[in-house]
A and B are shown apart, each in its own frame.
Chain A
Amino acid sequence: MSWITGLAFVFFAPFVGGLIAGFDRKITARLQGRIGPPILQPFYDVGKLLQKDNLVVRRSQHLYTEFFFVLTIFTGALFFAGGDLLLVIFSLAMAGVFFALGGYKASSPYSFIGAQREVLQMVSYEPAVLLAAVGMYMVTGSFKVSVIAAYPKPLVMLLPGIFFAFFFILPVKFRKSPFDLSTSHHAHQEIVKGITTEISGKTLALVEIAHWYEYVFVLGMGYLFFASNIWLGLVMTFVIFELLLVVDNSTARVRWQAMMASSWIVALVAGGLNILYLMLRH
C-alpha cells in the first residue's frame, strides 16, 4: 500500500460508500417487508441537497462541518495509504471533534443535545478502536497499516476478543441501532435530527458524503482483521456489514448510559482478556 491507494480512497470511496448506503437501505427495507428505494437513492439525496438553500443559525457554523468533511477524507486516506494506525485514530478523533463542535456552534437545543451525544459516542468507541491498534501492534510489531495488512495469518485468530469489542462499537460509527444516539439515518429520528438538526442543504450533503467515506474507512478497519487473504477479507467485510444490518433492524435504541457502560465494559473485558492472552503467548 502506498499513496496510490490513499488517493484511490479519496476518489472512489464516495462511490463505494454511497452504494453501500443504498444497499443498506434496500436490505433494511426488505427486512421490513418493503420494496425500498433504488440502490442509487443516496446519490439522489445528495444531488438534491446540493440544489437546496443552505440555512445556518450562526455564521461560520457550517465551517466546522466542512472541516469535519475534509478531516474525514484525510483520516481515510491516511489509513488506506498505510500510515500509522494511531495517527489515523487521532485524526479520526479530530474529525469527530469538529463535527461535534459544529453541533455546539449551531446553538440550538436539539443540535446541542446531539453534539453532546456525539461526544459520548466518540468516548464510547475510542477505547475499542485504540485497543484494536494496540492488539494489532502486539501481534505484528508495528502500528503501520501497511505492515499490519501484510501479516501472513488472519489477525482475528489472535485477536478474537478485540475483534468482538470492535464489532460491538461498529453501530456507533455506522449510526445504527442500538447506538444511533446523536443522529441517525433515513426514516429514523432522534430528538428531531440530533446533531444534524441545524444542518441543511450543501452542508448536509457534505455530512452524507463524509459518512460514505467513514463507511469505507470503518469497513477497511474491519478488513484488517482478515487481511491475510484478500478474498477472505472481502467476504468477511461483507459478512460484518450484513450482521450489522441484522443488529440494526432487530434492536431498539438504548439510553446513553447503556451505550457507554456496555461499550466500555466489553472493550475492557474482551479486549483485556485478549491482551492477557497475547502477553502469555510470548
Chain B
Amino acid sequence: MALPLLAFLILFPLFIAFLVLFVRKEAFFAVIIYPAAVILIVATCFLLGLSAGGSPTLIAVHAGWVEPLMLVVEVLAAIYLLFLAIKQRDWTVSALVIIQTVVLLGFHFSRAGEVHTRAELFIDVFSVMMGLVVGIVGTLIAVFAVGYMRDMHHHQHEIPDGRRVFFSIIFLFLSAMFGVCFSNNLSWMFFFWEITTVCSFLMIRYKGDATSVKNAFWALRWNLLGGLAFLIGIIYLCLTHHTIELDKMLALPKAWVMLPVALFCFAGLTKSAQLPFSSWLVGAMVAPTPVSALLHSSTMVKAGVYIVLRLATSLEGTFVGLIVAFVGLITFLICSFICISQNDAKKVLAYSTIANLGLIILCAGIGSPQAVWAGMLLIVFHAVSKGLLFLCVGSIEHKLHSRQIEDMSGLIIRLPKLSVMLQIGIAGMFLAPFGMLISKWAVLRAIVDFNPFFALFLIYGSTATLFFWVKWLGKVITVEKDYKNEETGISLDQWIPMGILTALTVLICGLFSPFANILIEPYIVALYGREVTLGAGNMLIMSIMLTFIALFPLTFLPTRGVKMAKPYLGGANVGDGRQFRDSLGGVKPMHMKNFYMEEYFSETRLMRLGVIVTTVFLAAMLAAGGM
C-alpha cells in the first residue's frame, strides 16, 4: 500500500509540472492547479492512514531504470547550470558544478555497482509529518501563488511573464520535497536534494533583474557547497561501511560514522541557511513572495533541518553534536537580534526563519529525546505560522505598495481581515500558548539538562523575539490617521489558503496533544525507548490559556460604558483630534514610530560577528569528524 502512495506523491506533482508547461491561457493555470492541489492534499492525508510507526517501514523499489535516469537528469542540470554560470561569469559556481559532476560520475562508474541497497524508500511517522507539511502547507502556497502571480503581472509589467515555468518549477519542487522526505537510499536523497537547489536557484532569479540574478547565484553557491559535502559524505560512507542507506547508517556506532554525519550536518546547515551561510536566504527574499513562503521558509529550508534532526541519535553526546548545537544557538541569538533593527517586513520574516531553523538545529545537536521532540514540533508549527505570515505580507505588499513595517500603521482599519490573519500569525510565532512557544518551552527544558550555559544564549534570543514581534503587532493596531477600508481586489484563491493556514495555526495548537501523540511520540519511543510529555496538568493550563485567547475576539462585540475622547496631545489638539497646533501656530499631524536600535543591533556588525564565530566552529566540527 505504501509504495503506490509514495510513488503517487512523487510522480503526480511531476506530471502537473509537465502539464502546466503547455498552458496557453491564464485561466487554465487555475483549472489545472486547483484540482491538482485538492488531489495532492487528499493524497497527503492518506499518509496518515498508512499507520506508519516510529521505526521505519522499508520499501524496496524494483526498478533498475530509476538510477541511470537520475544520473542523466543530474548531468543535464549540471550542464544547464554551468552554461548559466559561465554566461554570468561566476567562476566559483562553475567550479563547484564541475567538481560535483566529476565526483558524482566518478563515484557512479567506479563503485556504484558494488553497493547493494535493500530499500530505496521508507516511511515512518517523522517522514509522514514532513510529508504533511509539504503536502498541505506547500500545496496551499501553490494555490495562493496562482492569484498572487496574476496580480503581480497585472501591476508590474517590467517583469517578464514566465508563469508557465514558474508553476512548473513549483510542482517540480513539491515532487522533489516528497522525495527528500521518503528517501532511504542516500544517493536518491541527494538527487532530490539537488533538484530543490536548482528549483530555488531558478525561482530566485525569476524576476530577471540584476539583483535577482546575483542573489540567485549567491544562493546557488552555498547550496552547491552543501551538496558537495553531502556527496562526499555518501562516498565516504560507501567506501568505509559499504552502505548508502540511511537506516543502516543510523544503526552504526556513533564513532564510526562521525565524518559522514559531520558532512551531512554541514549540508543541512547550508540548506537551512544557518550562520555563516545565512546571507543567501536573506538575498533570496527578492523572489516573489509565494516562493519565499514555500521554499525559503516552510519547506525547502526544512529539508536541511530534517536531515540534521534525522541524525540526532548519532549526534547525541558527541563533539560534532555539540558544535552543531552551538552553531544553531548562535544563529538563533544573532538573527533574533538582527530582527530588532529591521523595518522591511520580509527581512524580519527571513531572519526570524533563520533564527527558528537555528533552534531546530540546536535541538538536533542536543539529540536528547526531549530536544528531538521539541525540534519536530518546531518544524510543523513554524511551517504553518511562517507560511501564513509570508502570504499575508505578500498580499499586504500588493495593497500598500510597500512592505515596510512603519507603513503598516492602521492596518487594522485599512485591511481588517488581512491584519487579523497577520496578527494570528505573529501571535503564533511568539505568544503563549501558541505552538512556537510550546516548542520553545520544550527546548528550554531540554537545553538546561544538556548544558545550562546554552540556556543563557537561548534566554536572550527568545527575549529579542518577544521584542520585535510585539513591536510589529503594536504597529498594526496603531491608528495615526483617519484611514479607509481598502480591502478590495484580493482574490479568493489568495483568501482561501490564508484562511486555512490561519485556522491551522489555531487548530494545531488546540489539538496539540493528539497531534503530538500520533505524529511525534511514536518516533521518540522507537528511537529512545521512552516517552516525552509535558504533563497532563500543563496541557490543561495550556488549553485554559488558549481559551482565553480564543475569547478575545468576542470582546469586540459592541461595548457599553465607555465614552470616546481625543488622544491627549498636551491640550493642543486641533482638527479631528489627531493633529496638534505647534509652537508657531501651524497644524501638524501626529506620528508614531517604533524603536529600531540600529546602533545596538546593526545587521552588518552582528552578521560579521556571527559569521566569524560560526566559521571557526564549523572548521572545528569537520576537523573533529575527520579524526
Contact = CB atoms under 8 A, between A and B. Distances in A.
Interface of A: 53-60, 62-63, 66-67, 70-71, 74, 78, 83-84, 86-87, 90-91, 93-94, 97, 100-101, 103-112, 115-116, 119-120, 122-123, 126-127, 130-131, 134, 137-138, 143, 192, 197-198, 202, 264, 268, 271-272, 275-276, 278-279
B565 A57 contact: yes
B310 to A, nearest CB: 28
A87 B470 contact: no
A120 B535 CA distance: 33
A56 B431 contact: no
B459 A131 contact: yes
A208 B371 CA distance: 41
B513 interface: no
Given A112-B592, A198-B568, 16 more contacts: A57-B564, A59-B559, A63-B556, A63-B559, A67-B552, A67-B555, A74-B545, A83-B538, A87-B441, A100-B470, A104-B474, A107-B592, A130-B463, A192-B568, A197-B568, A275-B455
A116 B485 CA distance: 27
Contacts of B559: 59-60, 62-63
B471 interface: yes
Contacts of A112: 474, 478, 592
Nearest to A271: B456
A91 B460 contact: no
A185 to B, nearest CB: 19
A205 to B, nearest CB: 13
A275 B567 contact: no
B32 interface: no
Contacts of A63: 552, 555-556, 559
A173 to B, nearest CB: 15
10 contacts: A60-B559, A78-B541, A87-B538, A87-B542, A90-B432, A106-B567, A115-B474, A119-B467, A126-B459, A278-B452
A53 B563 contact: yes
Given A100-B470, A264-B460, A134 B455 contact: yes
Nearest to A268: B456
Contacts of A272: 453, 456
Contacts of A127: 459-460, 463
B467 A123 contact: yes
Contacts of A105: 477-478
A116 B592 CA distance: 11
B592 A55 contact: no
B400 to A, nearest CB: 18
B463 A123 contact: yes
Nearest to A97: B470
Contacts of B566: 57
B109 interface: no
Contacts of B473: 97, 101, 104
A67 B277 CA distance: 42
Contacts of B568: 108, 110, 192, 197-198
B569 interface: yes
A87 to B, nearest CB: 6
Interface string B438-454: 00010011001000110
B541 A83 contact: yes
Nearest to B440: A90
A47 B112 CA distance: 84
Contacts of B475: 104
Contacts of A86: 441, 444-445
Range of interface residues on B (Cβ < 8 Å) = 35 or more
B64 interface: no
Given A54-B562, A107-B478, A275 B463 contact: no
Nearest to B427: A97
B463 A120 contact: no
Interface string B463-486: 110110011011101111000000
Please give me the 9 A-B residue pairs with the lowest Cβ-Cβ distance, nearest first.
A108-B567, A104-B474, A90-B432, A55-B565, A63-B555, A112-B592, A126-B463, A107-B479, A130-B459
B68 interface: no
Contact of B456 (A59, A70, A101, A131): A131
Given A104-B477, A202-B561, A134 B448 contact: yes
A67 B432 CA distance: 14
Contact of A94 (B479, B545, B564, B592): B545
Interface in B119-149: none
A61 B478 CA distance: 10
A198 B595 contact: no
Contact of A56 (B466, B477, B480, B565): B565
B437 interface: yes
A93 to B, nearest CB: 6
Contact of A134 (B459, B462, B541): B459
B590 interface: yes
Q: Among B453, B462, B559, B568, which residue has the most Cβ atoms of chain A within 10 A? A: B568
B448 A137 contact: yes
A90 B437 contact: yes
Nearest to A63: B555
B548 interface: yes
Contact of A93 (B432, B459, B477, B535): B432
Given A66-B555, A87-B538, A123-B466, A107 B456 contact: no
B489 interface: no
B88 interface: no
Interface in B176-210: none
Contacts of A56: 562-565
Contacts of A55: 562-565
A94 B453 contact: no
Contact of B479 (A54, A58, A143): A58
B594 interface: yes
Given A56-B563, A112-B592, A97 B431 contact: yes
Contacts of A134: 444, 448, 452, 455, 459
A213 B567 CA distance: 29
A264 B467 CA distance: 14
